[in-house]
Structure formats: C-alpha cells, structure tokens
Amino acid sequence: MKTILTGIKPTGTPHLGNLLGAIRPAIELTNNSDFDRSLYFIADSHALTSIRDPKEYKENVYSVAATWIALGLDLDKAILFKQSDIPEVFELTWMLQCLTPKGDMNRAHSYKAKVQQNIENKTDEDHGVNMGLYNYPILMSADILLYDTNIVPVGKDQIQHIEIARSIAQRANQLYGASCLVEPQELIQEAGAYVPGLDGRKMSKSYGNTISLWETEKKLRKLINKITTDSSAPEEPKNPDDSIIMDLYKLFARPSEIQALEKRYKEGIGWGEAKLALFEVVNEYLSGPREIYTNLMNDKTQIDKILDRGRSQAKELAEKNMKRIRKMITGF
Ligand code: ADP
Ligand code: TRP
C-alpha cells in the first residue's frame, strides 16, 4: 500500500506557487496508478500560528478546499479533509514532541529566520515567536506519520520539514520497533519547485509578491503587468533563460507555444507583448476552474459535504494507525 499526502496552510487565497509546487503535482499523482491512496488536507491548525481573526480563518479554510475541488481533484480517488477534524493528530504530536530534541527545533528554518530577523532589528531573539511556530515541524511530522505516508509532494522550501519527520520516525522505530512509523520521502517536481513571484523572489504570501489564483480576469491581467522587468527597449533581443515571465510561461504553455515565444524573445519582444502572452495561457488554464471556485464559495454547503466525507475517511485511518502507534509507545 503506497500513500501520498500533502497539506496546504490556509493563510490566504492560494497562489500560482501553491498551484505549481504542490496542488498540480499532487492532483497528477492521484491519477498515477503507483499510488493506492492519496490524502490532501487543509492544514488549518498550522495557520493558527499567525491568523487571529476567526472569520478570516474560516474563509481561508473554505478557499483552500474550494481550490482543490475547482482544480479537478478526483474525489473518488483522493481524500480531502481538514487537519483539525482529526484529533488523533494532536495526540501523536505530543508523543512526537517527547521524542524530539529541542535543538532540532532551534535549527528549523522558519524559526531560525524569525530569530535572525529579530537580531537584525535589535529586538529580543524570540520576539513574536509563539510555541505553535516553534513546534510547527512536529505537528507537520504528525500530519505525515499518522497516515503511514510514503510520499509527500511539496515545494523545495518544505524539504527540511520532511527530513525532520523522517528523523523522528527513525528515532521512534529504533525505540519501539521498525513497524512503529513509516519513514516518508519528499517528492519535488522540478518543473514547479521554485515558482518566482512578481519581484523575482520565490512567490510567497510572506513576500506579498503573489499572483493569487482566483482574481478576476481584469485583476489577473493587472497583476501580470506588475512583474518586474528591465528597461531594455522593445526591439532589443532578450534572453528567454533569464526572464520571470518566460519561467512562468513555461509552466503553462504547450511546447510549441514555448518555442514560439522563445523565438520572439530572441528577435526582440516588448515586455507588454510577453506579459500578454503569459496572461493568455494562465487565464486559459484558470478560467474554467475559476467559475467552479466562485460557485463553491458562493454556496459552501457542497464544500461542507465533501469535507465531512473526507473527515470520516481520514478518521477511520487515523484511529486504526493511532491504535497501533499508541500500543507500541505506551503499551496501552
Ligand atoms: P507561502 O510561502 O505563500 O506561505 P505555503 O507555505 O502555504 O506558501 O505553501 C504551500 C505549498 O505550496 C507548499 O508545498 C510549498 O512548498 C508550495 N509553494 C509555495 N510557494 C511556492 C513557490 N513559489 N514555488 C513552488 N512551490 C511553492
Ligand atoms: N508546512 C506546509 C506549508 O507551509 C503545510 C503542511 C502542513 C504540510 N502539514 C503538512 C505539507 C504535511 C505536507 C505534509 O506549506
């Protein structure tokens, strides 16, 4: 039995980076017969480290769920659920915390980055760090290990978290027996592993440089027009291998379209023309799903039904696995 699992944190409307780095590869894997089970969840408890407004929290959860559905996740093959609907994950989190050296968490990237930022701002090192942020990788390990996950499709930024999950599993297996926890592997799809944002840095909500998926056509066009370009004249030849617009275009266009645009770059293309070409392929990809997304968000009962079904399917697995793990770790 081979299981794939991944989660998206509901901290805002999903963007092109989430689509290409996580959601699209995950949907493709669901249709791949090498895997018997796929679990996709909304990592809502992870969002609690930063979201303080319950209305925003709830809306974001629906937005992520609707995104998976609108983009065509096959709900007969995959289980879509909300992390916090499965209390077993919190029981396992505690057990894993007791197996994790504190030093490992000191070395976790997101915590370290926050500390570094505080040092630069000359404030207390732990300013603005809550225990949820500090323990984030352990809850994420529990997400993965609870379901006996083999493969976790994620973007490159999550590799360290999967390594942490693997090392916790190894520790548990040494202590309690090899069949305690399955050791997971990350799966990085090279094509979408590092999607650039409007300013050329990694597209991320924390940098405010995202192209979010569900903008109106007009806003999508405006956003794409904001992509940073240099001031070279329209007729000057341009390097297609050094262009954010081209990098994004390649993730949506067909090979023949890519070749044609590369040719235009070499001949000399105005940035306006390149941006329009990008808008057209992104918009073509998203216009069908956009309509489904909007309908789902306007009447959330369908999302509720899908998440309810996902909860009972995930719960069954979680109960069964937790029973085994609990017995191995506590004897009960
Ligand atoms: P953000 O950085 O905007 O907060 P998340 O941390 O919620 O995004 O990411 C959810 C998933 O999307 C993760 O698997 C992550 O690796 C992937 N992802 C996010 N941004 C990108 C990007 N720019 N390129 C590729 N994958 C990404
Ligand atoms: N940490 C992931 C992110 O920020 C979200 C996440 C939570 C996740 N639990 C997970 C991803 C388990 C994969 C597997 O994007």
Are 20 and 99 members of one domain? yes
Contact predicate 277/48, CB 8 Å: no
Asked whether the whole model's pTM tops 0.85, one would answer yes
Are 123 and 268 members of one domain? no
Is residue 167 in a domain? yes
Copy the structure tokens of residue 44. Answer: 């809502």
Q: Which residues contact 144 (CB under 8 A, 6 or more apart)?
A: 5, 152, 162, 165, 184
Query: Which pLDDT value is given to residue 2?
Result: 95
Are 179 and 251 members of one domain? no
CATH of the domain at 47: 3.40.50.620
Is residue 324 in a domain? yes
Q: Where are the beta strands (DSSP E) in 71-221?
A: 78-82, 151-153, 185-187
Residue ranges lining ligand 2, Cβ < 6 Å: 5-7, 9, 43, 46, 140, 143-144, 152, 154, 158, 161
Domain that holds residue 73: 3-195+300-330
Mutate which of 20, 64, 140 to test ligand 2's pocket (most atoms within 8 Å of Cβ)?
140
Considering only CA atoms, which of 166, 187, 183, 178 is closest in space to residue 104?
A: 166
Residue ranges lining ligand 1, Cβ < 6 Å: 8-9, 11, 17-18, 20-22, 154-155, 157-158, 192-195, 202-206
Q: Which residues contact 4 (CB under 8 A, 6 or more apart)?
A: 26, 29, 30, 35, 37, 38, 39, 149, 150, 151, 152, 153, 187
Which residue's CA is the closest to the ligand 2 atom numbered 11? 7
Residue 228 per-residue DSSP state: -
Copy the structure tokens of residue 47. Answer: 């969002």
Please pick, among 205, 238, 250, 275, the residue that the annotation labels catalytic.
Answer: 205
* Amino acid letter, residue 247: D
Are 87 and 117 members of one domain? yes
Burial (Cβ within 10 Å: 0-12, 13-18, ≥19) of residue 167: middle
238 an active-site residue?
A: no
Is residue 121 in a domain? yes
Per-residue confidence in pLDDT tens, the chain, 332 aa: 899 999 999 999 999 999 998 899 899 999 888 899 999 999 999 999 999 999 999 999 999 999 999 999 999 999 999 999 999 999 999 999 999 999 999 999 999 999 999 999 999 999 999 999 999 999 999 999 999 999 999 888 899 999 999 999 999 999 999 999 999 999 988 888 889 999 999 999 889 999 999 999 999 999 999 999 999 999 999 999 999 999 999 999 999 999 999 999 999 999 999 999 999 999 999 999 999 999 999 999 999 999 999 999 999 999 999 999 999 999 99
Are 309 and 290 members of one domain? no
Which residue's CA is the closest to the ligand 2 atom numbered 8? 7
The C-alpha atoms of residue 185 and residue 295 are separated, in whole angstroms, by 36
Query: Which pLDDT value is given to residue 140?
Result: 98
Which residue's CA is the closest to the ligand 1 atom numbered 1? 204
Query: Which pLDDT value is given to residue 193?
Result: 82
Are 102 and 190 members of one domain? yes
Considering only CA atoms, which of 218, 149, 205 is closest in space to residue 3?
A: 149
Q: Which residues contact 124 (CB under 8 A, 6 or more apart)?
A: 118
Is residue 316 in a domain? yes
The C-alpha atoms of residue 77 and residue 72 are separated, in whole angstroms, by 12
Are 114 and 235 members of one domain? no
Is residue 267 in a domain? yes
Tell how far the Cα of 315 is from the centroid of ligand 1, in angstroms.
26
Query: Which pLDDT value is given to residue 21?
Result: 85
Please pick, among 58, 156, 202, 300, the residue that the annotation labels catalytic.
Answer: 202
CA Rg value for the chain: 21
Are 284 and 167 members of one domain? no
Q: Which atom of ligand 1 is nearest to the CA of 156?
A: 16
122 an active-site residue?
A: yes
Are 116 and 58 members of one domain? yes
Residue 279's φ and ψ, nearest 5 degrees, are -55, -45
Tell how far the Cα of 271 is from the centroid of ligand 2, in angstroms.
36
Is residue 174 in a domain? yes
CATH of the domain at 223: 1.10.240.10
Query: Which pLDDT value is given to residue 156?
Result: 86
- The CA–CA distances, whole Å, from 17 to 124, 167, 192, 202 equal 32, 27, 7, 8
Are 174 and 266 members of one domain? no
Residue 248 per-residue DSSP state: H
The C-alpha atoms of residue 48 and residue 58 are separated, in whole angstroms, by 11
Query: Which pLDDT value is given to residue 217?
Result: 96
218 an active-site residue?
A: no
Is residue 156 in a domain? yes
Are 35 and 184 members of one domain? yes
Is residue 29 in a domain? yes
Are 177 and 284 members of one domain? no
Query: Which pLDDT value is given to residue 94?
Result: 98
Nearest 10 degrees: Cα torsion 310, 313, 318, 320: 180
Mutate which of 83, 109, 204 to test ligand 1's pocket (most atoms within 8 Å of Cβ)?
204
Q: How many domains does the chain have?
A: 2
Contact predicate 227/275, CB 8 Å: yes
Residue 140, number of CB atoms within 10 A of its CB = 24
Alpha-carbon torsion 308, 137, 214, 51, what sign? positive
